Structure 1
């Protein structure tokens, strides 16, 4: 039996590395104005924040856009990013999803070779992951897949032996859940109103 003892400095370094790998999601509502994204990107770069991904898109209001950030680091780093974002005039609101139940998705398009293995094996794996084959060429297929980050990472790993030709991802987007309700419950028809016990005074 081998016994391994780690020094305090070694344990501290391991703990710091684990913290640096933690990922947190922030979302910022910003005004739709020229230069907003460049301003925010410049601020993040100048302070050397480790941003894993950044996704920008329209919202329910045409005059606002939502930017979703995936920040790598501990709580102190996330707090610093949030505070810096809140200082920017064109940032209307910053949502911190650390302590919230959220629904998050990532979208990927992947072009994979079918020269060696043929289409059938790639198609079989795509069906297991509920991915869509959106384009077929003579020597490749293009696959669309959305879902949690870990699901997409796992699918990419399975596709590597076939030969990945091109790959693009949107980065994570997220929204907070308002009510803890299952899909089955949400799709149930409403219970009919029972009028048999209702008394009407005339």
Structure 2
């Protein structure tokens, strides 16, 4: 089963290597990983999609990550209300006559053509995995020359304000 794990870590040399090494030593498969600094340049956020056998395994992953020196916080956000996105660049074989057709195919996905070559176009799409996979499936008949994916990045949704909370804010 796939789980989405986030970790905030100190932004220092070797942290990514130590974290991924720990997961590899314990035979956990990392399906995707994204890392970047947060609003604080001294802290980075890692988002892993990890394949585990059962709930006990994910608990072990979280415990092991929390033991790492530079790890500040670890969360399994799989079952939370989250927003997740992935960026994909798809280079598709295309003659000049096909470009309008490809543009029409990608338009409903809010994808864009970001580069045009003699024999190809490069499409950029951002979205959840289902959206990305659907567009890749539609572009396969044209011939995919190259594909680059960032992996999933995810955050929890903000706390929703109820009508009662709105009234309290308005009264105060």
TM-score grouping bracket, smaller chain normalisation: 0.7 to 0.9
The equivalences for 1:69-80 within 5 A come to 69-73=48-52, 74-80=54-60
CA distance in structure 1 between the aligned counterparts of 2:28 and 2:145, rounded to whole angstroms: 31
Give CA deviations for 1:86-111 in whole Å, capped at 9, x if unaligned.
Answer: 01010011122133101110111111
CA distance in structure 2 between the aligned counterparts of 1:119 and 1:133, rounded to whole angstroms: 9
The structure 2 residue matched to 1:139, chosen from 119, 142, 155, is: 119
- Counterpart for residue 165 of structure 2: none
Contact kept, 8 Å, 1:116 with 1:162, in 2: the verdict is no
CA distance in structure 2 between the aligned counterparts of 1:72 and 1:43, rounded to whole angstroms: 15
RCO comparison, higher one (Cα < 8 Å, 6+):
2
Give the secondary-structure state (helix, strand or coil) at the position aligned to 1:118: helix
Change (3 A) 1:117 1:26: farther
TM-score when normalising by structure 2 = 0.88
- Counterpart for residue 169 of structure 1: 149
Question: Are positions 1:51 and 2:30 aligned together?
Answer: yes
Number of residues paired by the alignment? 161
- Counterpart for residue 35 of structure 1: 14
Is the strand fraction higher in 1 or 2? 2
- The answer for unaligned runs of 5 or more in structure 1 is 1-21, 182-192, 194-202
The equivalences for 1:120-139 within 5 A come to 120-139=100-119
Aligned CA RMSD, in angstroms, stands at 1.6
- Counterpart for residue 64 of structure 1: 43
- Counterpart for residue 85 of structure 1: 65
User: Rg: which structure is higher?
Assistant: 1
